[in-house]
A and B are shown apart, each in its own frame.
Chain A
Amino acid sequence: MSIRSLTLALAGAAIGLAGLAGAASAADQIYIPNLVYKTGPYGPSGTPVAHGVADYLAMINMRDGGVNGVPILYEECETGYKTDRGVECYDRVKNQNGGAVVINPWSTGITYALIEKATADKIPILSLGYGRTSAADGRVFPYVFNFPSTYWNQATAIFKYIADQEGGFDKLKGKNFGFVYLDHPYGKEPIPTLDILAEKYGFTYDKYPVPPASMTEQKSIWLQIRRSKPAYVIMWGWGAMNATAITEASNVKYPMDHFIGNWWAAAEPDVVPVGEAAKGYKGATFNGVGTDFAVYKDINALYDAGKGTWSKDQIGGVLYSRGLVTGAYMVEAIKVAQAKFGNRAITGEEMQYGLENLDLDAAKIAKLGLTGLMPPVKVTCDNHEGQNPAILIQQWNGKAWEIKSDWIAADTALVRPLIEQDAAQYAKENNITPRSCS
């Protein structure tokens, strides 16, 4: 009986102590929490991203002593990619340590759940290439940022790449494509855009949904693809689905260089398990890959000083680079905010100004040592996706990802009206009056 009551007391104490976690320290520092997922079924993809962000911010702290002398306090909260834990994490971190400056949810589901909460709390959400596409309309979503590109624009850019390969958009006419996607809000996002593209350029495409519950059973899908022989197969996949699809594609002898994944379906965890068969698989990305960039001088120095958060032989992959780039965007936005409000710890509201006035041109990126890792971005009040969304196409050579194209611009003229239409519907349902940006 005594051990039982002891356990009860301990459990009670543990829950009680949770309340103390809210105590904040008032030091002058910029608090950046990160809602990471290093565990669970998607953990292998979430881990490199988290380390990329952590390393960049640690590097800034070590090299520059913070942003303009104000140190960054970085903290992680594990969500396991689950929406309810993400909401709990957000509520836990938002008022800690003087208040969160920016939130990275790293999951489309969590982003959707936090949009209104963060807007009410005046904390900007940075959902870098995921989350709600129509949040690109900054008039309706002032606190949500999804630069450097959205799923819809990515779809148009992928077709631009295919057209370039085939020798012009008129060559797409009459062709048939395959679209393999996770049957989930994330996977279904580009379908309206694909419908419009199909109508505009006169091609057809077949949809191959993969249910999330059985991501690793795709035999029947790929048998159908073998029969219908689509000119290209485009994939909106995630987690274990990607490696399975690539394996199955090679089993049915589908030409790998005609198989293109989106930017969450083309990283090392997707191709390494497949082995030799993955060679030639292509993917979209909005960040460079590898360690041959000027910024790695400082990152390596961080690891030499023993302050790196990962092991040095693992850095440099696609998702790690994406984390680095995220860190860089946040630091640059803080600088913009500090230029206006003074070199001190800023608030979420001031960070919103920083993100909204972020203007990273090629010269600035070169100065950061990030040329080739990130595209130039110019965010404005009404366009939170950035002025020139663009992607790179990379190809797996069996050992590493190689960038195969220049920056491919998206067809924003086609996508922007869709974004505005969806944002307007959202505003109507939620009684939001879009702010004026002129």
Chain B
Amino acid sequence: MFYREAGIFKTSYASDQALFRIPLDRLFVIGVVAAAYLVVPFVGDQYWLGSILLPSLILSIAALGLNILTGYCGQVSLGTGAFMAAGAFMAYKFASNITWLPIPVVIVLGGLCAAAIGVAFGLPSLRIKGFYLAVTTLAAQFFLLWLFQKIPWFVNYSIAGVPTAPPREIFGILVTGAEASPAARYLFVLTFAVVLALVAANLVRGRIGRTWMAIRDMDIAAELIGIKPLNTKLSAFAVSSFYCGVAGALWSFCYINTVEASAFDIFRSFMVLFMVIVGGLGSILGSFLGAFFIFLLPIGLNNAVTTFGLPIATETITYIEFMVFGALIVFFLIVEPHGLARLWQIVKEKLRLWPFPY
């Protein structure tokens, strides 16, 4: 009734190539982003902004990064945590040693360093594929974390080895560190998430994205039609690691306030991989849905039990959380193996016919 394509005519190439070709889609996305900017910071309390939305958005960026590599280019990676750590540690080095650098530049530089490291660890992907590639990225995971803990240069020779993310401001408003208000940190992270999502959405539907998908679907055929595997695979590694690096830097600077290697361990890599799988491989929206689902469901379950005031021991709540969470993931993968993004697509298809389905 409301959502339909009938009667929408494209009269120019530009409108035919637009990111959202259905006006309702475009209005919806613009509305969500506008609400995220204009409404949420005023209605959300500190807990919601600082501990729910902020980490979910940061993990969405990491999931976007992995989705580019795994979902679009077909290269399995278990090194997400390490690339996040690379972004965090290098951003810390830039922020603490070149103190006049504006904080967005610091975060982007952290991401660029992660991209360079990602390219280096992506080189084996030219020769090895599938699970074997996953093992080499696993090597990146362990090697990089070991490196950051082993060499005191990365933490400015801090005796404790866990440096604090320095407070930085934009336009006189603190956006990193503990004193920054959750609303300011949230808006800062939201801006990164929106810009990076927009860039990703345009990358994957352009020439680069199409070469990634060609390599993913059949690399020999892609090579025969003139796509260079070297450039394609390494660019996917670079862009993916850049996203992960930015996410890692934001995680350290805006969320946990410390640059700590154990925040980026192998379990973080798996968590982001689950986000991508549950959210939907090869989908921008799926990265966001997956990140929110995987990160918030355990917290929501934990909170729900507490809210009802049931007299259950703390550890039992956590075990219930583990069980329900695991069961739900299995359930979703059986019912909808293409992820939450596919569910959303089905909802849209149903909406086209609503309220008069055949």
List chain A positions with a Cβ less than 8 A from chain B: 4, 7-8, 11, 14-15, 17-22, 36, 38-39, 43, 47, 50, 76-78, 80, 83-84, 87-88, 91-92, 95, 108-109, 112-113, 115-117, 119-120, 132-134, 183-185, 188-189, 192, 211-213, 418, 422, 425-426, 429-431
Query: Which residues from A are CB-within-8-Å of B296?
Result: 15
Question: Given A83-B256, A183-B149, does the pair A91, B318 have CB atoms closer than 8 Å?
Answer: no
List chain B positions with a Cβ less than 8 A from chain A: 45-48, 50-52, 55, 96, 142, 146, 149, 156, 158-164, 166-167, 177-179, 255-258, 260, 262-263, 266, 293, 296-297, 299-304, 306-307, 313-315, 317-319, 322, 328, 331, 335-336, 343
Query: Which residues from B are CB-within-8-Å of A91?
Result: 46-47, 50-51
**B266 to chain A: closest residue by CB:** A213
Question: Given A88-B51, A88-B299, does the pair A78, B314 have CB atoms closer than 8 Å?
Answer: yes
CB distance A120 to B179 under 8 Å? yes
CB distance B164 to A426 under 8 Å? yes
Query: Which residues from B are CB-within-8-Å of A95?
Result: 46-47
Q: How far is the CB of B189 from chain A (nearest CB, A)?
A: 14
CB distance B161 to A21 under 8 Å? no
A-B contact count (CB 8 A): 145
25 A-B contacts (beta carbon < 8 Å): A8-B343, A15-B296, A15-B299, A17-B303, A17-B307, A18-B304, A18-B307, A78-B302, A80-B318, A83-B262, A84-B256, A87-B51, A87-B256, A91-B46, A92-B51, A92-B303, A112-B160, A115-B164, A115-B178, A116-B164, A117-B178, A184-B149, A185-B161, A429-B156, A429-B166
Give the residue of B48, B161, B300 whose beta carbon is less than 8 angstroms from that of A11. B300
Query: Which residues from B are CB-within-8-Å of A36?
Result: 314
Question: Given A11-B328, A116-B177, A184-B262, does the pair A17, B166 have CB atoms closer than 8 Å?
Answer: no
Q: How far is the CA of A363 from the CA of B303 in the complex (A)?
A: 44
Query: Which residues from A are CB-within-8-Å of B48?
Result: 19
Q: How far is the CB of A349 from chain B (nearest CB, A)?
A: 16
Nearest 4 pairs of A and B residues by beta carbon? A116-B178, A18-B303, A38-B315, A15-B300
Q: How far is the CA of A213 from the CA of B164 in the complex (A)?
A: 24
CB distance B159 to A192 under 8 Å? yes
Query: Which residues from B are CB-within-8-Å of A212?
Result: 262
Q: How far is the CB of B145 from chain A (nearest CB, A)?
A: 9
**A20 to chain B: closest residue by CB:** B307
With most chain A CB atoms within 10 A of its CB, the pick from B166, B257, B258 is: B258
Q: How far is the CB of B176 from chain A (nearest CB, A)?
A: 11
Give the residue of A4, A8, A43, A113 whose beta carbon is less than 8 angstroms from that of B257. A113
Q: How far is the CB of B126 from chain A (nearest CB, A)?
A: 28
**A79 to chain B: closest residue by CB:** B318
Query: Which residues from A are CB-within-8-Å of B303?
Result: 14, 17-18, 21, 92
CB distance B160 to A422 under 8 Å? yes
CB distance A14 to B304 under 8 Å? yes
Q: How far is the CA of A8 from the CA of B347 in the complex (A)?
A: 12
Query: Which residues from B are CB-within-8-Å of A19?
Result: 45, 48
Query: Which residues from B are CB-within-8-Å of A422?
Result: 158-160
**A36 to chain B: closest residue by CB:** B314
Q: How far is the CA of A19 from the CA of B47 in the complex (A)?
A: 8
Query: Which residues from B are CB-within-8-Å of A20?
Result: 307
Q: How far is the CA of A76 from the CA of B311 in the complex (A)?
A: 12
Query: Which residues from A are CB-within-8-Å of B335?
Result: 4
CB distance A113 to B260 under 8 Å? yes
Q: How far is the CA of A309 from the CA of B161 in the complex (A)?
A: 37
